[in-house]
Structure 1
Amino acid sequence: MTLALQIILVITSVLMTVFVLLHKGKGGGLSSLFGGGVQSNLSGSTVVEKNLDRYTVVMGIIWITCIIALNLLQAFGA
């Protein structure tokens, strides 16, 4: 159980890092390398950005849940 949670934690950490770096910032960031900088700034938030937001939030929830579960397993010695 602990090993599975640790693996999930590492995978979600890497995915969250990638998702955060793909977000469109003021300067474009890494998203401009993959074609995100071509879009106009006047168009607002795109469907891709909204989906990226959702994926980032889901990864964050899974990440926090794994941290809490690992801490509880360590505290209660299961």
Structure 2
Amino acid sequence: MRNWLAKARKQKMLTHQKVADLAGVKRQYYGMIENGERTPSVGTAKKIAGILEVEWTLFFDEKGNKTLRKTNTA
């Protein structure tokens, strides 16, 4: 889970839907990004980061992402 992302969104008092609308993605997809189930494209990461005023590279930082490697490599 990307706790830093949820925290940034809540600090801005935005819903999943509002961030998704502003970023031009579906709410479900944004939820997956925030939960660490999906990694956004660079463009989408930059849009979300701009909305929430965070560094866009955090989306690609191992420490900032929940990975599914254990289940994928089994």
Instruction: Classify the TM-score, shorter chain.
Output: under 0.3
Greater gyration radius: 1
User: Could you state the TM-score of these two structures normalised by the residue count of structure 2?
Assistant: 0.27
Bigger relative CO (Cα 8 Å, ≥ 6 apart) = 1
TM-score between the two structures when normalised by the length of structure 1 = 0.26
